[in-house]
Amino acid sequence: MTNTPLVLVGILILAVGTFSLRFAGPVMRSRFELPERAQQVLAAAAIVLLTALVATSALTDGHGPAGVARPAGVLVGGVLAWRKAPFVLVVVAAAATAAGLRLLGVP
């Protein structure tokens, strides 16, 4: 049971809301000055949120654990990214690590 006009209206509303939020950031930044401490907290919050997303994606598969190969690949990619390796090398090394471990029978 699909109501196409309702879906299109919902997409349009979400698109306008997303654009408005993205547009409001630069506009409001020039009008308000955040304290230095608030800027530091927001920067740390972004890092914590990204780390939680990576950990959740790397360690779980559906409702269960992901095994060993995927977290090992993410670890290799993370170390290479931390060492400021080129992005293509980070992705290829992470994928090769996970694929190699799975080829050897490691789940």
Residues 6+ apart with CB under 8 A from 38: none
- Please tell me the predicted confidence (pLDDT) of residue 27: 87
Q: Which long-range contacts (CB under 8 A, 24 or more apart) does 97-105 make?
A: 97/69, 97/72, 97/73, 98/69, 98/70, 98/72, 98/73, 99/69, 99/73, 101/68, 101/69, 101/72, 101/73, 102/69
pTM for this prediction: 0.63
Q: Is the pLDDT of residue 71 over 60?
A: yes
Ramachandran sector of residue 25 (left: φ over 0; alpha: ψ -120 to 50; beta: rest) = alpha
C-alpha 79/C-alpha 90 separation (Å) is: 9
| pLDDT confidence band for 79 (50 / 70 / 90) | very high
| pLDDT confidence band for 34 (50 / 70 / 90) | confident
- Write the pLDDT tens digit of every residue in 46-63: 999 999 998 999 999 988
Query: Identity (one letter) of the amino acid at 43?
Result: A
- Write the pLDDT tens digit of every residue in 10-32: 999 999 999 999 999 888 888 88
Q: Is the pLDDT of residue 1 over 60?
A: no
